[in-house]
Each structure stands twice: as C-alpha cells, then as structure tokens.
Structure 1
Amino acid sequence: MSASPETLGGTRVHATAIIDPTAQIGRDVEIGPWAIVGPHCEVGDGARIGARATLERNVRLGQRVSVGSGAILGGDPQDLKFRGEETWVEIGDDTAIREYVTINRGTAHSVTTRVGRHCFLMSYVHLAHDCQLGDHIIISNGTQLAGHVQIEDRAIISGLCAVHQFVRVGRHSFIGGCSRVTQDVPPYVRAVGNPIKLFGLNSVGLQRSGFAEPVVRELKKAYRFCFRSDLNLSQGVERARGELEQIPEVQHFLAFIEASQRGVGF
C-alpha cells in the first residue's frame, strides 16, 4: 500500500506518509502527515498513527491502537549483545501511546517487547527491549523502563520514574512520581521514593477496582506480616500462609514476594 491522499476501504493515509510495501494495513486506519510505517509492520483495524510517528520495523499494532505524534516504535534494542536477530514490538488492542514515546524491539532473550490491551502510555515514556506489560496499565509522562521490566495488570506508575532492568511491578500497585525503582514492587501496594519504599496497600486503587472488603482485609494482614512486623520476610510469608485465608489475591501476593530475584522495597 503506497502513500495516497485518497480514502481506500475506509483507511486514510496522508499524501506525505511513507508505507513500506511489506507493511500490512487494516481497515479504517488513519495515518498522519510524514508518518513512517516500516518493513513487516502490521497495523490493526481502526488504528491511528499521528503526524511524524514512526514504526521502524517489525511492529504489530492491535485494533484501535493510537500512536501519538513523534512516537518511535520498533527501534533496535539498546543492548550491546544484540546481533540483528529478528525481534518484535507488539501492542494490544485499544492501547493509547502518546507523543514521543519510544518502544524498542526485543532481543533473543524474549524476542518481543510487549504491551497489553487498554494501556495508556503518556508522553516521553520509554520502554526498553524485552519489557513485558500486562493489560490496563498506566505509565505517566517521562517515566523510563530499562530492559526486561515486567509490569502486571492494572499497575500505575507516576511520572518521571526510573525503573531498573529486570524489576517486576505487581498488579494493582501504585508507584509515586520521581521514584527510583531498583527492587520489585509487590502487588496491591503503594510505593514511592529514592530508593523505593512501601507505604501500605493501594487502598484507593483497590476500592476503585471493586475489591471486596474481606479481600482487602486479608491483604492488609499479609502486608503487615511481611513488612510491618518483627519477622523477617521469609518468616512473614510463612506465617501469612499458616494463618490467613488463602484466597487467590493473598496467594499471588505471597508468591510474588517468594519469586523475587531483586528483593522488594521496604
């Protein structure tokens, strides 16, 4: 499909846009002025690509994804071990990527840098190679994720945060602005600082997400055992397993802590 000022099958491509012949463009797509869609890119139905945005190569956009002006997706990974392998960026349906966001392709480690469905990445966010993001995630302006970061569903990361490589951020957690995240952030908690520290459950977020009061109550007890008692972390996990109702949320909270390779912020 070449650049054309015409509307083809509901798709609108500005005359100045450049579309590689190997790119696949869905229906009802809009591609703005001076945008570039490079080799082997796939643009899902209803997607919007803003002015001067670039899909460099090997980018798959789901349906109704929006890409803001000046964003660059699918650039080479910034990793000295990269040797030109075929790697990808994948963006899930209904995700919004705002102005000047950069998302690099994966490496041989995981092949794909992946962003889930219904995510919102605000201006100047950077996702390095091999990052894995779940669904319904919000990342605010200027936050930078190093390689191999994993973020679970419905986490929120505020603006101007720096997240160290291989860090994991648990589901329904909230990270405050300007934080330096060098350790894992467990699910369901609030965290902020340089270095990162935990400040209890993300109670407001859990309430907004419809968590039942008995579930929140058990999570609070698990948090206290692990982070607000005289027990060390492994003892706190053991006691929580022995004394609390093992509902799925408590099990996930404890399993996340046990699986941590970088440690968790206190």
Structure 2
Amino acid sequence: MTVEIHPTAIVSPGAELADSVKIGPYSIIGEHVKIGPRTELLSHVVVEGHTTIGADCSVRNFANLGGPPHHTGYKGEPTELIIGDRNRLWEHVTMHIGTPEGGGVTRVGDDGMYMATSHVGHDCVVGDNVVLAHSATLGGHVDVGDFVMVSGLAAVHQHCRVGRYSFIGGLAAVTKDVIPYGLVWGNHAHLEGLNLVGLKRRNFSREMIAELRSAYRLLFAEEGTFQERIDDAMATFGHSAPVMEIIDFIRAEANRPLCLPEREV
C-alpha cells in the first residue's frame, strides 16, 4: 500500500512514513518524525521534533505534536514524544516532547482518546485506554495509569500521579496524587469516593467492588493514624490485588501529598 500525501502538505525528506499513512491538506511533517502504518492526519496537522506516532491513529485538524516543552530550562536538546497505537487525537490537541531533566521522553500509550484542545505536557507518562476530555490538561511530569478518565476543563498539576481506573471530574484542579480506582472532584480536587461507574463499565465483579469499598472506608476513616489504617487494610485485604494496588500506590511515594476526602467516609 502506498502513502497518500496531499499536494499542499509539506513532508521533510527525513520523515519516515509507513505503509498506508495519509497526510492531509496543509499538514507539516518534520525531519525526525516517524509515523506508523495506517495512521491518518487530517488537515493542518503539525508534527515536529523527534516524534513517533504508532499504527492506526487518527489525528484531526490543527493538532500540534512534538513541539518544544514549555520549560525554561529547555535548550533545544533532541528529546522525544512517543505515541502508541490506535489513538484518536481531536482538534487542537497538543503534546510536547520531554526535557533532559525529566528523562527525555513524553510517552503516550495505546487506545486513548484525546478530545479537542486537550494537552499532554513534557515528560508525562500516560497509560493505555486513557481519555482526556475537552480542554483537559496534564502539566509536566504527570504519571497517568491505564483506563483513567480526565473530564473537561480539568487540570493535573505537574509531578502528580493518577492511579489506574480513576476518574477526575470536570473543572477539577488536581494538585495531589489520586489513588487507583478513586474519584476526585473540586478545586482543589478532593477524593469523592471510588470510580464505581468506571469499575462497572470495565466489568469488575460485584465481589471485587465490595472489597474495594470496604477497604476504602477503612483507609480513609477518622479513627487511628493513616499508617495504622494502611496496616489494618493490608492485614484484612492482603489477598485482594486491587486493594493492594491502592496501598502500594500510597506507599511508593510516601512523601507525595494525596487527595483525601473532605468529609467522613
């Protein structure tokens, strides 16, 4: 299969385009860009820097991928943006390359949906099956797990971690880490409970959801210290992989602030 390039598009000679790639009108593809098979760029898409886009992706009008990071220390180093397979990027999406200080790579997984004007900042690591709704924003160095939903106009502060299967409500300002399976809301965001709708949609069993709810109540109760509650949850639910994922998430970065409930759970 041949590559289709619209006559008005500008594609640098060094760009690597796989079979069946389609480059639409007025798009600009830079010298160090690699695009996987069957990926389609509609009109006015700019892909620059050392950017790799996987197979079967769709990138809509006026997206800009691989631009320089919004970081005062960046001096033009050849850092990267790597985007996985089967992603859908809508109008005006922006994703930046990394910085040397942050490891040099911004990495986006597979099967994601990035709605209009959403943004992935430098040095982010974004998992698979992630949804960023309209104007959702990830600051630099954000780590987002698989199956996360970030609602419209929400923003995640730099260096925050967002655990797998969690849900960030619309307009939320997330300045602290979000536990796996959690649901956060507000400005600044606080823990509102578990992402029960998302867990049901992902076919988590009733028994597993019940265990998560019981562990959540134990972890975020008012009695005892947080460490005591973690120890109690480990003793009670050590057999449960999802519960242990939450506990391991909390313990992995013990010095990081954590989104907590505003009221008694």
TM-score w.r.t. the length of structure 2 is: 0.94
Indicate if the aligned counterparts of 1:140 and 1:157 stay in contact, CA closer than 8 A.
yes
Whole-Å separation in 2 of the counterparts to 1:42 and 1:10: 16
Contact 1:218 1:245 in 2 (8 A): no
Matched to 1:248, the amino acid is A
Task: Pick one of 257, 261, 265 that aligns with 1:263.
Answer: 257
The answer to whether the 8 A contact 2:49-2:78 is kept is: no
Give the AA of the match of 1:265.
C
Matched-pair identity in %: 37
1:91 aligns with 2:86: no
- Aligned counterpart, 2:70: 78
Is 1:62 the counterpart of 2:48 in the alignment? Answer: no
The partner residue of 2:136 within 129, 143, 154 is 143
- Residue matched to 2:263: none
Q: What pairs up with 1:127-142 in 2 under 5 angstroms?
A: 127-142=120-135
Q: Distance in 1 between matches of 2:247 and 2:203?
A: 21
Deviation at 1:190, TM superposition (A): 1.0
Please give the per-residue CA displacement for 1:148-172, whole angstroms capped at 9, x wherever unaligned.
0000000100000111000011100
Structure 1 runs, 4 residues or longer, greater than 3 Å off: none
Distance 1:226 1:189 in 2: 12
SS in 1 for 2:4: strand
Mapping 1:41-190, distance limit 5 Å: 41-108=33-100, 109-190=102-183
Q: How far apart are 1:259 and its partner, in Å?
A: 2.1
Contact 2:32/2:48 (8 A) holds in 1: no
Classify the secondary structure of the residue corresponding to 1:219.
Answer: helix
1:235 maps onto 2:224 in alignment: no
Give a deviation string over 1:223-259, Cα, whole Å, max 9, x none: 1111134233222111101122422111111011122
Equivalent of residue 217 in structure 1, options 207, 210, 219: 210
The alignment yields a C-alpha RMSD, in angstroms, of 1.1
Residue correspondences, number = 258
Structure-1 separation of matches of 2:214 and 2:251: 17
Q: Which amino acid aligns with 1:128?
A: G
**Counterparts of 1:246 and 1:259 in 2: how far apart (Å)?**
19
Q: Deviations over 1:17-73 (max 9, x none)?
A: 000111000111111100011011001000011211100121101001111100000
Hey, what's the Cα distance between the residues in 1 that align with 2:86 and 2:170?
A: 25
Quick one: which amino acid aligns to residue 264 of structure 1?
A: L
TM-score by length of structure 1 reads 0.94
C-alpha distance in 2 between matches for 1:166 and 1:253 = 18
Look up the SS of the partner of 2:184 in the other structure: strand
Equivalent pair of 1:226/1:232 in contact (CA under 8 Å): no
Task: Please name the residue that 2:197 is paired with.
Answer: 204
